[in-house]
Structure formats: C-alpha cells, structure tokens
Amino acid sequence: MAIDDLIQDAQRRMDKSVEAAQTEFSTLRTGRASPALLDRIQIDYYGQQTPLKQLATINTPEPRMLTVQPFDPSSLQAIERAIQESDLGLTPSNDGQIIRLPIPQLTEERRKELVKQVRHMAEEGRVAARNVRRDALHHLKKLEQDGDAGADDVHRAEDRLQKVTDEHVQRIDAALKAKEAEIMEV
C-alpha cells in the first residue's frame, strides 16, 4: 500500500498549493473592499513584525471602504505608515481612533497589471503542483527499482498521479478565471 500512501500524500500537498494560490489571489486588490487585502501587511510593533489582523479589527462598512481600528491606540501611526508603504496604493486617513481606507476605482491600465500579477501567481501554483507530481514520480520509480512495486502497479499509479495533478491544475485555473473576472469587472 506504499503507492496509495504516496498518491494520498501528493494529493494533500497539491491541495495545499491550490489553497496557497487562492490565498494569494485574495490579497490582490480588486474594485471592492475586502479585509483580506490587508493580510500581507506587517507592522513594526515594539520591534516585532506583527500581522495587521493581530493588532486591529478590520471592517468593511461600505463596498468601497475599509476601516482599521487598532486594539492599542498608540499603534495607529505605525499601522498608517505600514499601509502607506505597502504596494496596495491606498491612502489611509485617521481620526485619532480609526483608520479609513477608501478603495478607489481601478484604472484600465491597473486592471491589466493586476491580471498579469494573478496569472503569475496561478503559474506559481501550477508549478508547485507539478513539482509535487515530479517528486511523487521519483519515489514511484525508486519503489520499482528497489523491487517494492511491480511495473504495472507503478504505471497505474503514474496515471492516477497525472489525473490528480490535472484536477488540481484545473482548480487553480478556475480560481484564476474567477479572479480575472472580478478584477476586470467595472
């Protein structure tokens, strides 16, 4: 049953690469506000790089507005600076307690740029899935060479592995298509 374990392990690892690609997609800015946009932002909090979501409550009061309310009001300036320095292109404004982030309408040029970014992220996800397949194929060949599995079993396992890989690549492509549509939506 070593072959089944190998394929299940490969499937688990490919699932993780699909999830990672989808998580990456969610951190990209589209026309509407989403708290996930701020997931990548790290704040220098008492000399420690800390994720924003651990330091503040992030809400979406309107479709084009995010609000960030720090748990510790003294971290307000550091949070505002980190958002300004990020690659999101957002301009924060604060009233001393809450940071408001209006999400501007995307220009056509910026949309095309974001689509390129998303396609690159999707390709990285596909490559990760293929690397898992390559790794599993290597282990299958080793099983065959060591005499732990027959050639027919290994060949069937290779076919199953290819189907699993194709399935995961299709899931990444479906997520890519949905994200592209979301970005291009005016």
pLDDT band at 186 (very low <50, low <70, confident <90, very high): low
pLDDT at 122: 94
Mean pLDDT (whole number) for 87-106: 82
Give residue-wise pLDDT tens across range 8-50.
999 999 999 999 998 888 877 666 777 877 888 888 888 888 8
Phi-psi region of 149 (alpha: psi -120 to 50; beta: other; left: phi over 0): beta
Whether 112 shows a pLDDT value over 70: the answer reads yes
In the numeric block, which tokens belong to residue 106? 């995307």
**84, 48 in Cβ contact below 8 A?**
no
Higher pLDDT, 90 or 164: 164
Query: What's the start-to-end Cα distance of the chain, in Å?
Result: 52
pTM for the model stands at 0.69
| Owner of token pair 């080793």 | 142
pLDDT at 89: 74
